[in-house]
Amino acid sequence: MARDTAAEPFPFLLREIASGLAQGLFSPKEITAHYRERIDRYDGDLGCFLHVAEVSGDTDTSECAPLHGAPIALKDLLVTSDMPTTCASRILEGYRPPYDATAVKRLREAGACFLGKLNMDEFAMGSSNENSAFHPCRNPWDRDRVPGGSSGGSAAAVAARLVPASLGSDTGGSIRQPASFCGVTGLKPTYGRVSRYGLVAFASSLDQIGPLTIDAADAAFLLEILAGHDPLDSTSASVPVPRFTETLDGEINGTRVGIPKEYFSEGLEEDVRERVEEALRLLEGEGADLVEVSLPHTRYAVPVYYIVAPAEASSNLARFDGVRYGLRKEEETMMESFFSTRGAGFGPEVKRRILLGTYALSSGYYDAYYKTALKVRTLIQRDFLEAFRSVDVIATPTSPTPAFRAGERLDDPIKMYLSDVFTISVNLAGLPAISIPCGFVKRGKALEERKNGDAEEEAMQGGADLPVGLQLIGKPFDEAGILRVADAYQRRTDYHLRVPEAFS
C-alpha cells in the first residue's frame, strides 16, 4: 500500500530500480521520495535509521551506471563525508568524517543515492542491536524481538522495505545473523574482497563489508560494484573480480553441498533444523549432491573469537581519546581526560570487550590467550580447507534460533555470544558466506519465558512467523559459487519475497 498508487508501482529489487531509472520510467527524485516516505511512516516505530539524509534529489546521479540514482542506506560504521558517522556510540556523537570509505566512494561513483545511516550495535559489538547508544532497532516481523546484530538496522530496513538494499559489516556474523532474523539476504564476502578503508575497525583481521538485499542476485549486483583491490587497504586482495551477476544461471545440478554434522547438533532448535533440512532437500531435488563433512574444531570457534576480536578491538578503539574528534570530558589534565572520556563515551559491552582484549594481550597472558587463539584459528581454517576438497559449498543454519526477544540475553553475555555460533568460524577462516531466507517458524508473542526447545507449544499459542536463514559457505574468493546456489534456491522459493504484514 506504500507503493505509488497513482501510476505503475515502483519495483522493489535494486537492479530493477536501477534499470527503471536507466530507462527513465521514473526519476531518482521520485524513487527517493518514495523510500523517504516509507522511512517517515515506519521508522519512528522500527528505529532502523540513526541519520536520515537530506535528499534533495538535485544531485543528478542518473547518468552514473550501473545504479543510476538507486537508493541505498549504509551501516553507520562506514564513514561518509556528507553524513555523520557515529558507530552508534556516544563517543562519536556528531562526528562528521572528512572523507568517504572506499565502499561508499565506489557506490557513489556507481550512482547510488544514500538515504541515510543505519542503526547497529555500538562499534558492531553485539548480536541484537540492543547495544546501540541511541535507540534500539526492532524486528519488523515481531517488534518485541530483536533484528539481530550488529547490522540490525541494515537488515530490518531491507526487511521492512525502507530501502531496497543496504551495506553492513560482518566480523562474527554481523551481516548474516540479522539477515537471518529479518528474512533478508546477507552476504559476507571473502576477507580481502572488499576494501575496509573507511570501515571503522572492530577486529581488523575479521571485518568485512557486505550487502544486505532482498535476493542473491541483488547481492551479486552490489558485490560487483564493491569488490576489487584498493591501494588504500593493504589487506584487500589483488584477485580478479568476476561478473557475479552473469554466473547466476539457476543451475545446481551436480553441485556438491557439504553438510557439517557439528552444525546440526545441540543448541539448534528443532523447527529451525526442519526448515534448513527442507531447504537442503530442495537443493538435492534439483540435482545437488549432499555430502556429510566434518569441521571438528567448530566448538572452539566462539572461544577463539572472544579472544581475537576483543584483543584487536582494544587496540582499534584506543584512538577514541578525545583529542582530535568525538566526545571529550574536560579535566585538569589530558591523562585524566582519557579516563573520563572513554569511561563516559563507551557503552558497557564495548568496555567489557576492551577490558577482555587488553587482558588477553597484556604481559603474562599473551601466549596463553592471544597466541593460542591464533593457533586454533589455523586449525579451524584447516578444517574448512579439508572439507572443501570434497564439496563446492557448505550449508548450515545461519543461527540456531530465530530472532529472540528484546532483553532476553542482555544479562548473559555468553548466551548472547552463542547467537553467532554458526557464523563465527567463517570469519576466522576468512571465507565468503551468504544467509538466505529458507522458511518460517512460529514463536509465541505473549509467552513469559520460552523454554528451550518448546517451540511447538508456542506454535499452538499462535504468534509471529519468524524467518529462518540458510547459510551457504564458499571457498576463498568463490562468492560466485555461493551466490549461484543461493540464486538457484530463490528461483524456486519465495521466502525472500515475503514482507512483514505491517509493511507490505
- List the interface residues with other proteins, window 109-148 (CB under 8 A): none
- Candidate list 204, 247, 294, 493; residue touching other proteins; CB under 8 A: 204
128 catalytic per annotation: no
Contacts (CB under 8 A) with other proteins, residues 73-102: 78-79, 85, 87, 92, 95-99, 101
Q: Which of 70, 160, 307, 486 binds other proteins (CB under 8 A)?
A: 307
* Residue selected from 26, 49, 181, 191 as contacting other proteins according to rule CB under 8 A: 191
> Shortest Cβ distance from residue 308 to other proteins (Å)?
9
Distance CA(459)–CA(226), nearest Å, equals 41
Which of 30, 93, 300, 410 lies at the binding interface for other proteins (CB under 8 A)? Answer: 300
12 is a site residue for other proteins (CB under 8 A) = no
First-last CA distance in the chain: 7
H/E segment holding residue 318: none
Q: Report in angstroms how near the CB of residue 292 gets to other proteins at its nearest.
A: 23
Q: Is 351 considered catalytic here? A: no
DSSP letter (8 states) at residue 254: T
Q: Does residue 294 bind other proteins (CB under 8 A)? A: no
| Binding positions for other proteins, 459-488, rule CB under 8 A | 476
Rg (the chain; Cα; Å): 21
Residue 265 binding other proteins, by CB under 8 A: no
Catalytic pick among 75, 117, 188, 475? 75
Displacement of CA 60 from its chain's centroid (Å)? 29
178 and 185 in contact (C-beta within 8 Å)?
A: no
Q: What is the DSSP letter of 180?
A: H
- Least distance between other proteins and beta carbon 369 (Å): 7
How far is 181 from 178, CA to CA, in rounded Å?
5
Task: List the interface residues with other proteins, window 381-410 (CB under 8 A).
Answer: 381
Residues 413-432 that bind other proteins (CB under 8 A): 413-414, 417, 428-430
The cell 521508522 sits on which residue? 43
Catalytic residue among 150, 154, 419, 425: 150
Binding other proteins (rule: CB under 8 A), the pick from 27, 247, 294, 315 is: 315
Residues binding other proteins: what is the number (CB under 8 A)?
Answer: 99
Distance between CA atoms of residues 339 and 346, nearest Å: 11
Distance of closest approach, residue 239 Cβ to other proteins, in angstroms? 9
105 is an interface residue for other proteins by CB under 8 A:
no
Choice from 256, 371, 450, 498 touching other proteins (CB under 8 A): 371
Show contacts with other proteins in window 351-370 (CB under 8 A).
351-352, 354-356, 358-359, 361-363, 366, 368-370
SS3 assignment, position 195: coil
Decide if residue 224 touches other proteins (CB under 8 A): no
- Tell me how far apart the alpha carbons of residues 103 and 202 are, in angstroms, rounded to a whole number: 17
Decide: helix, strand or coil at residue 208.
strand
- Determine the Cα–Cα distance for residues 34 and 52; give it in Å rounded to an integer: 14
- CA 364, CA 17: separation in Å to the nearest integer? 56
Q: What DSSP string runs through 2-28?
A: -S--SSSPPP-SHHHHHHHHHTTSS-H
Q: Which is nearer to other proteins, 66 or 432 (CB)?
A: 432
* Calpha distance 503→215 (Å, rounded): 18
Residue closer to other proteins by CB (options 373, 486) is 373
- Write down the least CB distance from residue 163 to other proteins, Å: 22
Q: How far apart are CA 414 and CA 412, in angstroms?
A: 6
Q: Which CB atom, from 232 or from 497, has the smaller least distance to other proteins?
A: 232
**Is residue 269 within 8 Å of 453, Cβ to Cβ?**
yes
**Which of 89, 174, 425, 435 is labelled catalytic?**
174
> Nearest approach, Cβ of 330 to other proteins (angstroms)?
7
Nearest to 164 by CA among 82, 78, 61, 69: 69
CB nearer other proteins, residue 40 or residue 336: 336
- Using the contact rule CB under 8 A, the part of the chain among 50-58, 156-164, 186-194, 387-395 near other proteins is 186-194
**The pairing of beta strand 49-52 with beta strand 113-118:** antiparallel
List the grid coordinates of 147.
533484528
Residues written for the chain: 504
Choose the stretch contacting other proteins; rule: CB under 8 A; options: 47-55, 196-204, 396-404, 438-446: 196-204
- Tell me the one-letter amino acid at 56: S
How near is the Cβ of 262 to other proteins at its closest, in Å?
A: 15
Within positions 318 to 357, which residues make up the interface with other proteins, using CB under 8 A? Answer: 318-328, 330-340, 342-344, 346, 351-352, 354-356
> Cα separations (Å) of 398 from 273, 297, 408?
10, 18, 19
CB of 81 to other proteins, least distance (A): 9
In the window 242-261, what residues touch other proteins (CB under 8 A)? none
Instruction: Tell me the C-alpha to C-alpha distance, in Å, between residue 460 and each of 306, 442, 449, 456, 495.
Output: 38, 9, 15, 6, 22
> In one letter, which amino acid is 265?
S
Q: Which residue lies nearer to other proteins by CB, 184 or 194?
A: 194
Our answer to whether residue 314 is catalytic in this structure is: no
User: Is residue 324 packed enough to be buried (19+ CB in 10 Å), middle (13-18) or exposed (0-12)?
Assistant: exposed
Q: List the one residue from 7, 65, 249, 378 that touches other proteins (CB under 8 A).
A: 378
Question: Which of 13, 302 has the CB closer to other proteins?
Answer: 302
Instruction: Report the catalytic residues.
Output: 75, 150, 174
